[in-house]
């Protein structure tokens, strides 16, 4: 069975500093990996995905993620955090035709 | 506008009173899914559907029913709601494969 782990319940970072939100995964085949963001009282919004190709994937709002096959990781990054980036972030994985499995989420808090 | 529409957004009901949460998508997606979101547990899949008349259980199907009589609609039915089904529910749709999901805005259900 596929699974996703987000080891940090919360990440705190000061505005202007780089941020990383961690994600590791487990699938039996080639992974399709996704990051979603949820703002308060809103649904989930797609940020970026890795299917194949370059290990560094660029997405919306200046976010990027690095796929590392040997470490089975797909960490979300941003060079310079904004207060408006404060939200709940979900990593998700699917194995080809399987359903999408989500991690438990990481709350990102960016302080002014 | 491409979207997934859920109704209602908020619902308070009593134990045992049957209810239906509707979900409709206008993107001609074959794949649809229901998730529930609970604090500390992330998103857990309830049911999914690969196409019309094709549905299957997710990770937490107990106490729920679904139907997929037409491609655009995927209602979630709680025949006899209980307080442990108090949660935030999301419907999502996808083209499948390496495409991500499009999520509805969510339905916050309280069962008293």
pLDDT in tens, A2-35: 899 999 999 999 999 999 999 999 988 888 999 9
Residue A106's DSSP bridge partners are A89
Picking from A43, A46, A96, the nearest residue to B100 by CB comes out as A46
Picking from A43, A45, A103, the nearest residue to B42 by CB comes out as A103
Q: Which two tokens stand for residue B74?
A: 């995927």
CB-CB neighbors (< 8 A) of A40 in chain B: none
Model confidence pLDDT, tens digit, residues B37-64? 998 899 999 999 999 999 999 999 999 9
CB-CB neighbors (< 8 A) of B42 in chain A: 6, 90, 102-105
Model confidence pLDDT, tens digit, residues A45-98? 999 999 888 899 999 999 999 999 999 999 999 999 999 999 999 999 987 666
Asked if A49 and A57 count as a contact pair (C-beta separation under 8 A), the reply is yes
pLDDT band for position B100 (cuts 50, 70, 90): confident
As a whole number of angstroms, the distance between CA A50 and CA A66 comes to 9
Residue B4's DSSP bridge partners are B25
Q: Are strands B87-94 and B65-66 parallel, antiparallel or unpaired?
A: unpaired
Residue bearing the bigger pLDDT, A31 or B84: B84
Q: Are strands A24-26 and A106-111 parallel, antiparallel or unpaired?
A: unpaired
């Amino acid at each position: 069975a596929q699974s996703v782990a987000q080891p940090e319940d919360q990440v705190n970072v000061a505005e202007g500093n780089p941020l990383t939100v961690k994600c590791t995964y487990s699938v039996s085949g080639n992974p399709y990996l996704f990051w979603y963001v949820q703002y308060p009282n809103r649904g989930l919004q797609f940020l970026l995905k890795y299917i194949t190709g370059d290990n560094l994937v660029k997405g919306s709002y200046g976010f990027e993620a690095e796929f590392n096959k040997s470490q089975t990781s797909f960490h979300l990054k941003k060079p310079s955090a904004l207060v408006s980036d404060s939200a709940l972030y979900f990593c998700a994985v699917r194995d080809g035709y399987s359903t999408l499995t989500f991690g438990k989420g990481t709350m990102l808090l960016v302080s002014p | 506008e491409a979207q997934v529409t859920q109704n209602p957004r908020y619902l308070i009901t009593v134990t045992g009173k049957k209810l239906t949460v509707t979900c409709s998508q206008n993107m001609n997606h074959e794949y649809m899914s229901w998730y529930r979101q609970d604090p500390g547990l992330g998103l857990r899949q309830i049911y999914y559907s690969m196409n019309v008349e094709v549905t299957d259980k997710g990770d937490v199907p107990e106490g729920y029913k679904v139907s997929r009589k037409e491609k655009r609609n995927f209602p979630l039915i709680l025949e006899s709601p209980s307080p442990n089904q108090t949660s935030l529910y999301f419907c999502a749709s996808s083209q499948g494969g390496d495409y991500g999901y499009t999520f509805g805005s969510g339905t916050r259900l309280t069962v008293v």
